[in-house]
Amino acid sequence: MDTYSLIALVTLVLSIVSFVLLFQLFRNLIRKQIDDQMKDMIPIKAIRERIGIRIKLRK
């Protein structure tokens, strides 16, 4: 394996890992925002968690 293909492979792996981390951060921020908005309607956190809102991203 020559140097350029190794560099390309490492770059590809790092970009995939960073994309996954950004996607997780995005999902967590959306969940936090929804939870904050639901806090006004349902003040007890255990009940909010039992409702279990699922985030479905548009296709």
The DSSP symbol for 21 reads H
CA separation for the pair 9, 37 (Å, rounded): 42
pLDDT of residue 55: 56
What are 7-55's pLDDT values in tens digits? 999 999 999 999 999 999 998 998 888 888 878 887 777 776 777 666 5
Residue 9: both structure tokens together: 């492979």
The rounded Cα 51 to chain-centroid distance in angstroms is: 20
This prediction has a pTM of 0.61
